[in-house]
Amino acid sequence: MAVADTGVNVDGDTDEDVGGFILYLICQSFKLMTSCMVADLVAGDPEMRLKHEDGWNIPAGSPFYPPLPAVYRNVRFQFVFFHAAPPAVQGFLPEPLQAAKDGLCVASGLEVPDCELYGPFEESFIVMKCHFRDQTGFYCSHVFHNGPAGIAAGREIYGTPKVYADLKVTHADRSMMTETSYGGVPVLTIASSVEADAPQDTGASHDAPHDASQDTMPALTPAWRLKIIPRADGPGPALKQLIDCTETTRDVEVHAFAQGKGTIVLGASLRCDLTPLAPLEYGDAFHMESSYSEGYARVVYDYLSEKP
């Protein structure tokens, strides 16, 4: 006979058929049991009540994204270094950051085929060289992303300025292109090509010495983000912090790395105008494939409790 709504045939032709049906019944029973358990917890199990000091994100009983770390595998990056007018860079920096005199910026595109917490996605971003007190680092001004869970986590945990956008990443031979449209308008296109990839030791850790070829790419650290959480009782921020994500990326395994050249095209939509950062001069471009994990960052400046 055929069991309604299951798609499982149990005519009894073979032991394998019967075994499969029994397994199906076990799975259905487990689903029913766990659904009842969840219902009981939602109804107010005192053992599961959220403690005063606990909480990760909303909804508290079923967080939108899981706790860290986030594990990424075989992520393919492209980086294009360029110089923009320092006054234009300054316009994208929050106080107290100051633009570097050389106007160095980096446009990057990436393709994530496998992330345990957020699933696969594509992304592009821009970072710009700047100064904070006695340090020189890079501030992340724009991030375009096509995965909702990753957007929420990036904003809420680190202050990464992620917005939802349409992205297309293509590869051809030793070339890579990332096309970004925001609000239906092209705002950032990154094109790069490199020499033959230099294979790396896939067992190398983040703390191990880098291969000489990797040393040709300037380190984009400290890696600053601006984290803002709005007030509920009126205008202004309830939380405003400068975050350093230098220590966020861990357990790095570089699978391939190569150097080359690249270009970018900047556009403007109603919500985002990148054209002031028009390149005055290009530096090198780099491709990298790596696996890594993302952990916690560090608060380096609290706007609401520290003086400028």
Question: Residue 44: pLDDT band by 50, 70, 90 thresholds?
Answer: low
Strands (DSSP E) found in the chain: 70-83, 98-99, 104-112, 114-115, 121-132, 135-145, 162-164, 166-172, 175-182, 185-194, 198-199, 223-230, 237-244, 249-266, 281-294, 298-302
Cα(56)–Cα(3) distance, integer angstroms: 43
Q: Which two tokens stand for residue 12?
A: 């009894």
Residues 253 and 198 in one domain: yes
Residues 182 and 39 in one domain: no
Give 153: exposed, middle or buried? Use CB within 10 Å, 0-12, 13-18, 19+: buried
The pLDDT score that the predictor gives to residue 40 is 40
Residues 162 and 252 in one domain: yes
Cα(30)–Cα(39) distance, integer angstroms: 14
Q: Are 190 and 109 in contact (CB under 8 A)?
A: yes
Residue 198 has pLDDT above 80, yes or no: no
Closest by Cα among 292, 289, 116 to 205: 292
277 or 35: which leads in pLDDT: 277
Question: Residue 88: pLDDT band by 50, 70, 90 thresholds?
Answer: very high
The pLDDT score that the predictor gives to residue 36 is 38
Q: Which two tokens stand for residue 269?
A: 């939509």
Residue 193 has pLDDT above 80, yes or no: yes
The answer to whether residue 64 is domain-embedded is: no
The pLDDT score that the predictor gives to residue 33 is 39
DSSP state of 69: P
Residues 41 and 156 in one domain: no
Which residue bears the tokens 């105008």?
Answer: 273
At residue 86, what are phi and psi to the nearest 5 degrees?
-55, -40
At residue 138, what are phi and psi to the nearest 5 degrees?
-135, 135
Residues 43 and 152 in one domain: no
The answer to whether residue 307 is domain-embedded is: no
Q: How many other C-beta atoms are found inside a 10 Å radius of the C-beta of residue 43?
A: 7
Residues 229 and 123 in one domain: yes
The answer to whether residue 62 is domain-embedded is: no
DSSP state of 247: T
The pLDDT score that the predictor gives to residue 10 is 38
Q: Which residues contact 156 (CB under 8 A, 6 or more apart)?
A: 57, 229
Residues 85 and 207 in one domain: yes
Cα(39)–Cα(10) distance, integer angstroms: 32
Question: What is this structure's pTM?
Answer: 0.81
The answer to whether residue 61 is domain-embedded is: no
Q: Which two tokens stand for residue 88?
A: 């234009």
Residues 79 and 43 in one domain: no
Residue 147 has pLDDT above 90, yes or no: no
For residue range 251-281, what is the model confidence (pLDDT) as tens digits?
A: 999 999 999 999 999 999 999 999 999 999 9
Q: Are 102 and 62 in contact (CB under 8 A)?
A: no
Q: Are 160 and 154 in contact (CB under 8 A)?
A: yes
| 3-state SS, residue 59 | coil
Strands (DSSP E) found in 133-197: 135-145, 162-164, 166-172, 175-182, 185-194
Residues 41 and 81 in one domain: no
Cα(160)–Cα(144) distance, integer angstroms: 10
The whole domain housing 10 covers 1-49
